[in-house]
A and B are shown apart, each in its own frame.
Chain A
Amino acid sequence: MAERPYGLIAAFDSTGELMHAAELVRDAGYRKWDCITPFPVHGIDKSMGLARSRVPRISLVGGITGFCTGMSMIWYMDRFDYPISVGGKPFFSPLFAFPVSYELTILFTAFATIGGMFFLNGLPMHYHPVLNYENIRRATDDRFFIVIERADPRFDPANTRALLEKAGGKEIVEISS
């Protein structure tokens, strides 16, 4: 069984070089590729042609759910299920239900945001072909990488390598899947 490589990886020394290379790869029309960086590089989204993150939509759903949960929970408990008169105050009012609903809005938004981020990123994922590359540990230290997947329709071992070379990539190697 011949080992099918996952793709090609190239290393870069600075954020400037990485940005420039990312623009070239984007303009060459690749879709299945990625930059691997030790910190979020400012402006890389644009150089890679990434769309705006969809996390906020999930957060919004979480927040609305939280607020409705708070209001309906308090209405159900104190007005519907077991009303008790305390100091002649109304059994339900959105005013006194507000602080708890507000906190639940924030709590649910936080869970939705983090859950959404993990879901969109496909994490946790403890095995990934990129992690097979022995120098990849420098991606969490001081080095920048571009990976182009073999699964990309435009991928061609020779041409893709040439593109990465032209972009200034160093140590271009194949990584196993």
Chain B
Amino acid sequence: MSHATEQADAPAILQEVNPAVKPRAVMVGHNRSFTWITDKICGIAEEKTPTWWWVCFAMASFVASFTVGGIIYLVSTGVGVWGHRSPVNWAWDIVNFVFWIGIGHAGTLISAILCLLRQKWRTSINRSAEAMTIFAVVCAGIFPVFHIGRVWYAWFLFPLANSNEIWQNYRSPLEWDVFAVSTYGTVSVLFWYVGMIPDLATMRDRFAAAGKMIKARLYGIFAMGWRGSSRHWSNYEMAYLILAGISTPLVLSVHTIVSFDFAVSLLPGWHTTIFPPYFVAGAIFSGFGMVLTLVLPLRAVYKLEDLVTQYHIDCMCKVILATGTMVGYAYAMEFFIAWYSSNPYESFAFINRAFGPYWWAYFIMVSCNVVTPQFFWFKSVRENTMLVWILALFVNVGMWFERFVIIGTSLARDFLPTSWGYYSPSVVEIFTFFGTFGVFSVLFLLFVRFLPIMAIAELKAVTPQADPHAHNTGGGHG
């Protein structure tokens, strides 16, 4: 070996490079066992319904009744009960639609994109985030469907033969939206359900062992007779990976198409190529805000600190910081392009956004979306759960105002100053929107009560003892 002779006057080059060992993030705290995870998650759905649940459920149902009331009034009276009048014929309904759809996107991001990127921290939050997606899509769907006015004709949106023998206009981005959102809703439900099958089997077996045969049957039907066969797992994991692979372009395309509703029009302030990426970043931003809003109380109530660790919260805060900063960049770039394009209408639209009659909405938007996430640079902020939760609420508020600013300001200042107007929502609109938070909460509370709120099988798979080569030393070699 020539190494030995070279060693005496060897240049300052290391014989071997030893990269610094970065400690692996702990996904499940306190080195919990498989049984502990099963007991913890299943116990939530098995225990006697806690009092706080009934209190929250009653409150959520009360709030949801506002949506029901608002919709009944609208259907029985006419769509004029909303505050739309020329030039703003489209405001809160589309604002609320985009707001709710955007919230849903973080669920898909967590379940699909982070799955492809092999981010193990997704496992403890993906189930609840996917549930959030589905319920958010339900809330989003209410607005465009009822804005039709004669809601019993909603099926005209779909390519079904009708008595007029006229087909849908596929040149319109609104028709693209119909397909994007319905595909998104369907695929989200499928993804959620497939992910839940092994956990439903776990619950089936636990109910059967406890002698509760009716529940065991019920969960068993949905568990499809899953028995944990490795031959099944092989196909299952492949199917899950493909679903993650197709959900990734899906989630990006859905909000791109939502942004096409505006970008394909010719209105100043809407007709910009930055819209698709800007909307997608905003959607992920708002969605993570909502995930934190939901997961942090769940974590506190059910003492899930070992499953949703500080590391998880850190990751989510950093995603909010990154996407919030991207959104801030988009705001600045819109202004720059408005000036750079030398288009007077475009420049006017943006100056009007910031200093026009809706300046207050613009101010709320910027302070919530650009300033709020900057606090997440600080570790001490990310470690203060209460503060994180409050900041996440600001993110939700800010993203609602972003959509309002984009939609309201461009429409209220038409090309002709004689048709300028100022849009204010009617009471019916406010009630309908307020109620959707109740609808969402009712669905989410039912989910928490009856279904495994975390992916039990996936959580077990990221524990150190799941690694066949670790020999239970507590650390894998990856």
Contact = CB atoms under 8 A, between A and B. Distances in A.
A118 B197 CA distance: 11
B236 A121 contact: yes
B107 to A, nearest CB: 16
Interface string A91-105: 000001101101110
Contact of A99 (B168, B176, B186, B467): B176
A163 B158 CA distance: 60
A40 B457 contact: yes
Q: Which secondary structure characterizes the binding site on chain A?
A: helix
A100 B253 contact: no
B167 A123 contact: no
Residue in B198, B234, B237 whose Cβ sees the most chain A Cβ within 10 Å:
B234
Given A77-B168, A126-B225, A117 B458 contact: no
Q: Which secondary structure characterizes the binding site on chain B?
A: helix
B273 to A, nearest CB: 16
Interface residues of A, number: 69
B470 A96 contact: no
A120 interface: yes
A120 B460 CA distance: 25
B347 interface: no
A129 B236 CA distance: 21
B262 to A, nearest CB: 15
Interface string A25-54: 000000000111111111111001010111
B62 interface: no
Interface string B226-265: 1111111111111100110011011001000100100000
A177 to B, nearest CB: 15
Interface of B: 33-35, 38, 159, 165-173, 175-176, 179-180, 183, 186-187, 190-191, 194, 198, 201-202, 204-206, 208-209, 220-221, 224-239, 242-243, 246-247, 249-250, 253, 257, 260, 457-458, 460-461, 465-472
19 contacts: A19-B468, A38-B38, A38-B460, A39-B461, A40-B234, A41-B468, A48-B230, A50-B231, A52-B238, A55-B238, A59-B242, A99-B260, A110-B243, A113-B246, A117-B194, A123-B224, A126-B224, A140-B202, A142-B33
Q: Which 3 A-B residue pairings sit nearest by Cβ, starting from the closest?
A: A142-B34, A77-B167, A117-B239
Interface of A: 14-16, 18-19, 34-45, 48, 50, 52-56, 59, 63, 73-74, 77-78, 81-82, 84, 86-87, 89, 96-97, 99-100, 102-104, 106-107, 109-111, 113-114, 116-118, 120-121, 123-128, 130-131, 136-137, 139-142
